[in-house]
Amino acid sequence: MESLIAKLKQEKNLTDAEFKAILQQDFPESLLFSVADAVRREVYGDAVFIRGLIEVSNYCKNNCYYCGIRAGNCKAERYRLTEEQILDCCETGHALGFRTFVLQGGEDPYFDDALICKVVSAIREKFPDSAITLSLGEKSKDSYRRYFEAGANRYLLRHETATAEHYRLLHPDDLTWENRKRCLFDLKDIGYQVGAGFMVGSPYQTVHHLIADLRFLQELMPDMIGIGPYLTHKDTPFANHPNGSMETTLRLIAVLRLMFPYALIPSTTALGTIHPQGRELGLKAGANVVMPNLSPGDVRALYTLYENKRYSGSEAAESLELLKKQVANAGYQVVCDRGDVRRDG
């Protein structure tokens, strides 16, 4: 077991059978976590980077079977922020110390390219010292290029699952693994810092799918990797599928840290939702980013990707002091800069 962890650290790779062994429940996790933590400290020290998450719209034209804001969920109460509201969020965030703003949303046609570019340019102009991250789903390469030219630096687009057949079980026919992959490579080609990732324990997922996810990430070499447990939402076709496992998520965070020492890996809201200490445990397993919610207070409850999604306490950007304490208690330090990727770390 120890030799497997040593091999993973050394070669940043394992055979499929070895990955499978490491992901199994009986594989001792404490050594895995401590080696991952040591590697993270080698590259990033004890820094935990913060990103202000602005959920710009919960309208979505897509119908992903797992997601609470899917088009088909007529029980979802919909909202979208105005340009002014988004800029206000950035203003608030900047004053708190945030230097990265993440604009995430459903695929809302109201946010067309012209509007997205207008919002991005306005943020770029007002906050030249800050990174702008977009997470607005699948677009054409031309659109991605226009956002980049308007001033966006980073793009988060989880690949969700790197197995075409599994992708088809999670999404309707108009959404394909081929197009998801195309988007990620287009983003990279344009020059974005790119984030990919997947849900752990999504319906029908097997360990083979997880290994395919790791292999895909080796091919993409993303700057950021976001993973979190799949969490049930009652108004989706997957209402009867159980939540994913926190333990497997933590194990995968550690494995990802060892495979991609340079990566920015968030300890996600989903992890903080499934367990009260989930976010701290994520940091201790190798994660080095947290993304508190910077959306206007009155819409936070509406961006319901899954049930019980946390948005108060230290998940709330305005509670940064509380977050700093929690991060310090876990043995790390919140850092208020752009926190760009350290490829040569």
User: Which residues contact ligand SAH (rule: CB under 6 A)?
Assistant: 66-67, 104, 106-107, 135, 137, 157-158, 160, 199, 228, 230-231, 233, 270, 305-306
Tell me the closest approach of the beta carbon of residue 161 to ligand SAH, in angstroms: 10
CB of 190 or CB of 231, closer to ligand SAH = 231
CB of 106 or CB of 151, closer to ligand SAH = 106
User: If DSSP codes are grouped into helix, strand and coil, which group holds residue 111?
Assistant: coil
Tell me the closest approach of the beta carbon of residue 169 to ligand SAH, in angstroms: 14
CB of 40 or CB of 158, closer to ligand SAH = 158
Tell me the closest approach of the beta carbon of residue 157 to ligand SAH, in angstroms: 5
Under the phi-then-psi rule, with left for phi > 0, alpha for psi from -120 to 50, and beta for the rest, what region is 67? beta
- Measured CA distances, 193 to 6, 9, 43, 214, 332 (Å): 29, 24, 18, 19, 24
Tell me the closest approach of the beta carbon of residue 137 to ligand SAH, in angstroms: 4
Residue 212 near residue 20 (C-beta atoms within 8 A): no
**Residue 182: other Cβ atoms inside 10 A:** 14
| Dist CA 152 CA 134 (whole Å) | 7
CB of 135 or CB of 288, closer to ligand SAH = 135
| Dist CA 104 CA 53 (whole Å) | 7
CB of 35 or CB of 196, closer to ligand SAH = 196
Q: Which helix (H) or strand (E) element contains residue 97?
A: none
**φ, ψ of residue 124 in degrees (nearest 5):** -60, -40
Which residues on adjacent β-strands are paired with residue 204?
none
CB of 50 or CB of 305, closer to ligand SAH = 305
Residue 284 near residue 211 (C-beta atoms within 8 A): no
Token reading at 338: 């752009």
Tell me the closest approach of the beta carbon of residue 332 to ligand SAH, in angstroms: 24
Tell me the closest approach of the beta carbon of residue 133 to ligand SAH, in angstroms: 12
Tell me the closest approach of the beta carbon of residue 64 to ligand SAH, in angstroms: 7
Token reading at 216: 């895909």
Residue 285 near residue 33 (C-beta atoms within 8 A): yes
CB of 276 or CB of 331, closer to ligand SAH = 276
Which residues on adjacent β-strands are paired with residue 226?
197
Residue 116 near residue 309 (C-beta atoms within 8 A): no
Tell me the closest approach of the beta carbon of residue 71 to ligand SAH, in angstroms: 11
Tell me the closest approach of the beta carbon of residue 253 to ligand SAH, in angstroms: 15
What's the CA dihedral at 114, 94, 131, 251 to 10 degrees?
A: -120
CB of 39 or CB of 69, closer to ligand SAH = 69
| Dist CA 29 CA 17 (whole Å) | 17
CB of 137 or CB of 339, closer to ligand SAH = 137
| Dist CA 251 CA 270 (whole Å) | 15
